[in-house]
């Protein structure tokens, strides 16, 4: 995936105002089916796939190690045959090995699907444009558009050998289309014919940062508890007897959290001049008056807001922050980790 196709700022803005397409075929698609598919994934994932009651429904989850560290974050969909996982490309080998290791004792089939591509189309006009294209006989034909228009957020639908879902990574309405790789180029061209703009990795990063969405390897990794990555809601503690990998370690993390000893992930806003970047040191003043340190995990200039924003891991009970930018100590404001939704500022 290129950094940009010409102008990163223009690509970012087109997703916020009209529609852009991302070729995210580098992501790894893994199908899990078999008699024990549900029980297996209930062990493997921190979230509970039993919540997925209907075919096409989706949830976001972490896959944890025994110490409660985040091995990866992923989307899992319920399919007619079982489940479909979409995991990060950089963690592909590690994820597949981990999944195979813990499949022992379960009657499951784990199949990577390298013959599938993923095109993500996002922006205010995205769903309307995609549905019109899908109705063309070159693709899925009559009524497919109506079925996709009816989808709610975090729902998908199987249409022949395509899978179309209302999920994404931008904070805008849109679709992720998983389709046979040989059909992806013609679908891509059809999108461009409708003035959907191709979007690169640079704008994908600023869009997801504005939406307050984590990037694996920056905002969390194997050394990070999901409780320190604003991922509390992705952990399903019920039922009490579901022993997912990492659960016991997370119980200890909870105790640390209650004691105020676990760092938290927050949003930072810098409305003065300067740019927040990954790895910058944060000087934190806690409510007790104690001075502690934090770190910017993801930071950038926000094209929508016209100033810099960041995600940062800081000590709990921090009252105020200053960031070290080029040897200058610069005050920043702490906000909830989310900045833009549907093109509008959402923090106060």
pLDDT (0 to 100) of residue 142: 84
In a domain, 48, yes or no: yes
In a domain, 233, yes or no: no
In a domain, 256, yes or no: no
Count of alpha carbons within 13 Å of 191, Cβ hemisphere only? 28
In a domain, 338, yes or no: no
Which H or E element spans position 20? strand 20-23
- Number of residues that make up the chain: 348
In a domain, 330, yes or no: no
Beta strand pairing call for 20-23 and 156-159: unpaired
What total of structural domains would you count in the chain? 1
Could you say which residues of the chain have pLDDT below 50?
Answer: none
> Which of left, alpha, beta for 317 (phi over 0: left; psi -120 to 50: alpha)?
left
In a domain, 58, yes or no: yes
- Per-residue model confidence as pLDDT tens digits over 188-243: 999 999 999 999 999 999 999 999 999 999 999 999 999 999 999 999 999 999 99
DSSP label at residue 218: T
Which residues are paired to 202 by β-bridges?
none
What Å distances lie between residue 57 and 6, 239, 242, CA to CA? 36, 20, 21
pLDDT (0 to 100) of residue 199: 98
Contacts of 56 (CB under 8 A, 6+ apart): 77, 78, 79, 151, 155, 156, 157, 158, 165
In a domain, 240, yes or no: no
pLDDT (0 to 100) of residue 82: 98
Structure tokens, 178: 């998983």
- Per-residue model confidence as pLDDT tens digits over 47-80: 999 999 999 999 999 999 999 999 999 999 999 9
Q: Which domain holds residue 170?
A: 8-209
In a domain, 264, yes or no: no
CATH number, domain containing residue 180: 3.30.1360.120
Q: How far apart are CA 266 and CA 170, in angstroms?
A: 18
Q: Quickly list H helices, 47-171.
A: 92-101, 126-134, 144-149
User: What is the Cα Rg of the chain in Å?
Assistant: 21
């Amino acid at each position: 995936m290129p950094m940009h196709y010409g102008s990163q700022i223009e690509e970012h803005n087109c997703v916020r105002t009209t529609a852009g397409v991302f070729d995210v075929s580098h992501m790894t698609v893994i199908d899990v089916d078999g008699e024990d598919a549900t029980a297996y994934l209930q062990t493997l994932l921190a979230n509970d796939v039993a919540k997925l009651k209907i075919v096409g429904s989706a949830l976001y989850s972490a896959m944890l190690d025994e110490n409660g560290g985040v091995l990866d974050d992923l989307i899992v969909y319920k399919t007619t045959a079982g489940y479909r996982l979409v995991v990060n490309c950089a963690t592909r080998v590690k994820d597949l090995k981990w999944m195979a290791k813990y499949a022992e004792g379960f009657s499951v089939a784990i199949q990577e699907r390298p013959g599938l591509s993923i095109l993500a189309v996002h922006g205010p006009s995205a769903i309307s444009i995609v549905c019109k294209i899908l109705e063309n006989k070159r693709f899925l034909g009559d009524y497919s558009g109506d079925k996709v228009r009816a989808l709610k957020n975090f729902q998908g639908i199987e249409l022949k050998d395509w899978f179309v879902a209302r999920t994404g990574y931008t904070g805008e309405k849109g679709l992720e289309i998983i389709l046979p790789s040989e059909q992806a180029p013609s679908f891509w061209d059809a999108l461009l014919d409708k003035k959907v703009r191709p979007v690169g990795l640079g704008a994908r990063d600023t869009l997801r940062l504005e939406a307050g969405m984590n990037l694996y390897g920056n905002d969390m990794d194997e050394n990070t508890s999901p409780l320190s990555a604003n991922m509390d809601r992705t952990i399903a503690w019920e039922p009490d007897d579901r022993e997912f990998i990492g659960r016991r370690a997370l119980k200890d993390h909870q105790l640390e959290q209650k004691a105020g000893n676990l760092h938290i992930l927050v949003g930072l806003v810098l409305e003065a001049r300067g740019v927040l970047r990954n790895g910058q040191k944060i000087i934190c003043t806690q409510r007790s008056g104690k001075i502690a340190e934090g770190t910017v995990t993801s930071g950038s200039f926000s094209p929508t807001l016209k100033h810099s924003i960041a995600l940062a891991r800081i000590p709990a009970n921090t009252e105020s922050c200053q960031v070290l930018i080029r040897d200058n100590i610069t005050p920043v404001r702490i906000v909830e980790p989310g900045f833009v939704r549907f093109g509008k500022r959402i923090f106060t």
